[in-house]
Amino acid sequence: MDRDRRYEKILDAIEDERKAEESFFQSLHSSKTLQEKVDQGFIWYPIEIVAVHYAIGESVEIKIKRKTTPGKDFFHKFKVGVSVQFFNSDPNVKNISGVVSYLQKDTISVLTYVEKEDVEDFYSGHSGLEIIYDDKSYQVMKSAIRQVMDSKNESVQVLRKAFISQSLPDNRIYGEDSAFIISGSTLNLSQKKALEIALSSRYLSIIHGPPGTGKTTTLVALTKTILQKEKKILVCASSNNAVDLLASRLHLEGLRVLRIGNVTRIHDDLVDLTLIEKLRNHPDWNTIKKIKIQADQILRTASKYKRSFTPEDKAERKRLKKESYDLRSWSRELEDRLSDEILSNTQVIATTLISASHPQIQKMVFETVIIDEASQALEAECWNAILKGKESFWQGITCNCHPPSKVRRLCKRI
């Protein structure tokens, strides 16, 4: 099949799937009153904002309570990690989108990227919180495929051609570049053979086998071995559970692992591996926190000046807002430096395939990309990670294990 035509069909298939999912979501909401959406669990209404504070980076966390049935469990479809938006009965108030970061009984916390002043409109009037459709993963996949189509990078061009022709000539590395001291003394013969083949591959290597044959164990050994010569490796999988498992195994091996992604979807046992927690646990974080608190206090003082104030009050309010803004800018600068330090000292970046384009690692390029459970992923997802590296190792399962329904549906359309 012609190169461009194949990837155009992949783009069409992704868009068809996106439209189908969006249509299904809209069908759940169409022709329904506000009360019907509340009864079906898609909306919390009315709500009360309990607290608003700055979190890590530019994010603001908004804590709310449901006004009705306080302190009691009730039916709803909200869960940690779901995309939501705040709305108000006043049509002039702009909705605020975010992600649920905490949920317990009648209390929800939402991470969003707005100014604290933008939340003020939701204190008055009738406000609510609604689950919304999120097509981010589809947009990320389409962006990756477009990059693949336009890329002039040699490795990308070689792999793009290989995926079409189903062959990959000249994939071996010879000489000193292929010389490693293999880590993992407990590996059996087949695992060691898979490791040797992977380490001598130039562009791509696939490790496959039935469940329970130690593919993940082999990937852990592969990662440790490659780190003898490389400073950093990107390790990915399609699901958060798979990434968490691999990150945990690598962490237990003594490697410096950083878990990237939506913190609300990362297992509680691995929160300490996220950038947010590494920042909070750093000795310099207290200084940044104090600056943020000071900026917040000054902003609250400025907010006390209402619309009907004297020219002197207006000037003072402007001065206080600028001082608050300057302090926040300073805290962000210090936080960025601290983040860069943590990223620099990290050996393994662990993330889902979609989050491989996460802003925290957006500008990073890796010598090696490892994809776990590759046969459970879409090609477009894999490309999003592959584009971050020069060489990739895929761990897959044998074909008698069925891929997810979304994979099967998209494959039929290509």
Q: Are residues 151 and 250 in the same domain?
A: yes
Mean pLDDT of the region 284-296: 90
- Give the per-residue pLDDT at 72: 60
Band of the pLDDT at 407, cuts 50, 70, 90?
Answer: very low
| Percent of the chain topping pLDDT 90 | 42
Asked if 331 and 284 touch (Cβ cutoff 8 Å), the reply is no
The residue to which tokens 């990150």 are assigned: 247
pLDDT for the residue numbered 69 = 63
Looking at 45-49, 141-145, 301-305, which range is the least confident one?
301-305
Residue 391 is predicted with a pLDDT of 65
The yes-or-no verdict on residue 91 having pLDDT over 90 is no
Mean pLDDT is lowest, of 109-113, 174-178, 277-281, for: 174-178
**Are residue 236 and residue 175 in the same domain, yes or no?**
yes
- Asked if residue 269 belongs to a domain, the reply is no
More confident residue, 117 or 135: 135
**Spatial CB neighbours of 47, under 8 Å, sequence gap ≥ 6:** 64, 65, 66, 67, 127, 128, 129
Domain boundary among 66, 97, 131: 131
Q: Supply the DSSP string of 223-234, one letter for each residue.
A: HHHHTTT-S-EE
Q: Tell whether the model's pLDDT for residue 399 goes beyond 90.
A: no
pLDDT band for position 310 (50/70/90)?
confident
Regarding whether 229 and 183 lie in a shared domain, the answer is yes
CB-CB contact of 274 with 266 (8 Å): yes
In a domain, 364, yes or no: yes
pLDDT band (50, 70, 90) for residue 165: confident
Alpha carbons within 13 A on the beta-carbon side of 105: 8
pLDDT above 90 (res 209): no
CB neighbour list of residue 46: distance below 8 Å, 6 or more residues apart: 66, 67, 68, 126, 127, 128
Report the sign of the C-alpha dihedral through residues 61, 67, 70, 73, in that order: negative
Residues 192 and 121 in one domain: no
Question: Under 8 Å CB-to-CB from 276, ≥6 apart: which residues?
Answer: 55, 56, 263
Q: Assess whether 69 and 199 both reside in one domain.
A: no
The answer to whether residue 178 scores a pLDDT higher than 70 is no
pLDDT at 232: 95
Q: Which of 368, 396, 404, 353 is nearest to 215 (CA)?
A: 396
Q: With contact defined as beta carbons under 8 Å apart, do 413 and 391 qualify?
A: no
* Predicted local confidence at residue 408, as pLDDT: 44
366: helix, coil or strand?
strand
Asked if residue 21 is part of any domain, the answer here is no
Determine the structural domain holding residue 379 and report its residue range.
Answer: 143-256+347-413
The Cα–Cα gap between 353 and 240 comes to: 9
Domain end (from 131, 154, 174): 131
Q: Note every long-range contact of 268-277, with CB atoms under 8 Å and residues 24 or more positions apart, other chains counting.
A: 269/244, 270/244, 273/247, 273/350, 275/56, 275/339, 275/342, 275/343, 275/360, 276/55, 276/56
Q: What is the pTM of this model?
A: 0.82
Is 74 domain-assigned? yes
Is 209 among the domain residues?
yes
Q: What is the pLDDT of residue 184?
A: 61
CA–CA distance, 56 with 102 (Å, rounded to integer): 15
Mean pLDDT within 281-308: 84
Among 134-148, 168-182, 306-320, 398-412, where is mean pLDDT lowest?
Answer: 398-412
Beta strands in 67-213 (DSSP E): 83-88, 96-104, 107-112, 127-131, 204-209
CA distance 363 to 127: 39
Do 89 and 113 form a contact (C-beta atoms < 8 A)?
no
For 206, how many CA atoms within 13 A lie in the half-sphere containing its CB? Answer: 13
Please list, in sequence order, all residues whose beta carbon lies within 8 angstroms of the beta carbon of residue 70, skipping any fewer than 6 positions away. Answer: 106
> Is the residue at 267 inside a domain?
no
Domain final position from 131, 158, 183: 131
Are residues 356 and 234 both part of a single domain?
yes
At residue 12, does pLDDT exceed 90? Answer: yes
Q: Are 364 and 343 in contact (CB under 8 A)?
A: yes
Query: In the prediction, which pLDDT does 384 show?
Result: 95
Higher-pLDDT residue of 400 and 24 is: 24
Q: What pLDDT shows up at residue 403?
A: 44
Classify residue 75 as left (phi > 0), alpha (psi -120 to 50) or beta. beta
pLDDT tens, position by position, 210-255:
888 888 889 999 999 999 989 999 999 999 999 999 999 999 999 9
For residues 99 and 156, membership in a common domain is answered with no
Please indicate, yes or no, whether residues 250 and 362 belong to a single structural domain of this protein: yes
pLDDT recorded at residue 39: 87
What pLDDT is stored for residue 174 in this prediction? 56
Identity of the residue numbered 155: S
Q: Are residues 195 and 175 in the same domain?
A: yes
Give the phi and the psi of residue 109 in degrees, each rounded to 5: -115, 140
Residues 148, 245, single domain; the answer is: yes
pLDDT of residue 405: 47
Query: Which range among 70-79, 168-177, 351-360 has the greatest average pLDDT?
Result: 351-360
Q: What is the total count of domains within the chain?
A: 2
Neighbours of 86 (CB within 10 A): 26
Give a yes or no: residue 302 inside a domain: no
Average pLDDT over residues 250-270: 91
Mean pLDDT, residues 375-404 taken together: 71
Q: For residue 119, give the H/E element and its range.
A: none
Q: How many residues does the chain have?
A: 414
- The domain that holds 102 is classified in CATH as 2.40.30.270
Higher-confidence position of 406 and 308: 308
45 plus 186 within the same structural domain: no
SS3 of 276, please?
A: helix
Q: Return the CATH number at 402.
A: 3.40.50.300
Same domain, 109 and 53: yes
Confidence of residue 318 (pLDDT cuts 50, 70, 90): confident
Q: What is the pLDDT of residues 50-77, one digit of tens each?
A: 998 877 766 889 999 988 765 566 788 8
- pLDDT the model gives residue 278: 92
- Within a domain: 282: no
pLDDT band at 366 (very low <50, low <70, confident <90, very high): very high
Mean pLDDT along residues 307-327: 84
Q: What is the DSSP secondary-structure string of 124-152?
A: SS-EEEEE----HHHHHHHHHHHHHHH--
> Tell me, what's the pLDDT at 252?
95
DSSP state of 402: P
Across the chain, mean pLDDT equals: 85
